[in-house]
Amino acid sequence: MLPGADGAKPGPGDPALAADRLAAAKAELRRRLVAGRRAMTEADRAAAGRRLRDAVLGLPEIQMAGTIAAYCSVGSEPDTRGLLFALWKRGSYVLLPVLLPDGDLDWASYEGPDSLTAGPRGLLEPGPAEPRRGPGAIARADLVLVPALAADRRGNRLGKGGGSYDRALARVGGLVPTVALLFDGELLDEVPAGPHDVRVRLAAQPQEGIIRLA
């Protein structure tokens, strides 16, 4: 262990040591969750995506929402493409994130599956023809769908570690529903979280449907 600036070793209450332990706990949990997702079959992922779509579409708050901030799933994430299309077809104004060079999120409108283009880090985002609305656009959403590897019953959320969504969620009003989309088994008793991690208010799972969190 490296000594501090004054030559003393960090003690048990040292903030740097606590941050290192938190980062290690998150990294280990991410590793296990990502491995579990990769072990799923494409058919299982597709079926889970359909159940999540139906659960979210039945949520009273989303039926009343005019503007919805969402995301386009990639890789082993729960499939959101059917959900995005269903929301768009019924007239909701859907915003999708556009990753900025500093890791923050800009937002642009979803105009159907043909409007998406490849973005950085393997993401799919609205093409350049769609005007960027600015990072503050998420504050005008009536409901926010959030990617997550896990959440717990208190609303703590585990993301991929980039911090983009914590920055974005910090702009969302206290009464706006924020919904983490999860596979079954990813709503845990406890998720490691620090002071900068922003909680979500609901979780959606294929079998349990919508779960309201503390």
d(CA 67, CA 94): 6
Mean pLDDT of 3-9: 44
What pLDDT shows up at residue 117? 95
Q: Which domains, and CATH codes, for the chain? A: 15-212 (3.40.50.10420)
Tens-digit pLDDT profile for residues 83-134: 999 999 999 999 999 999 999 999 999 999 999 999 998 899 999 999 999 9
What pLDDT shows up at residue 4? 42
Closest CA to 108 of 98, 122, 93, 117: 98
Confirm if 171 and 139 have CB atoms less than 8 A apart: yes
Tens-digit pLDDT profile for residues 159-210: 998 899 999 999 999 999 999 999 999 999 999 999 889 999 999 999 999 9
What pLDDT shows up at residue 2? 39
What burial letters (b/e) apply to 60-87, b meaning 16+ CB within 10 Å? ebbeebebbbbbbbeebbbbbebbbeeb
Helix axes 81-89, 42-57, angle to 10 degrees: 30
Tens-digit pLDDT profile for residues 40-57: 999 999 999 999 999 999
What pLDDT shows up at residue 101? 95
Residue 25 is inside which H or E element, if any?
helix 15-38
Mean pLDDT of 65-83: 95
What pLDDT shows up at residue 5? 40
Tens-digit pLDDT profile for residues 150-173: 999 999 999 998 899 999 999 999
Residue 10 has pLDDT above 50, yes or no: no
d(CA 165, CA 26): 16
Largest CA distance in the chain: 63
Mean pLDDT of 4-10: 44
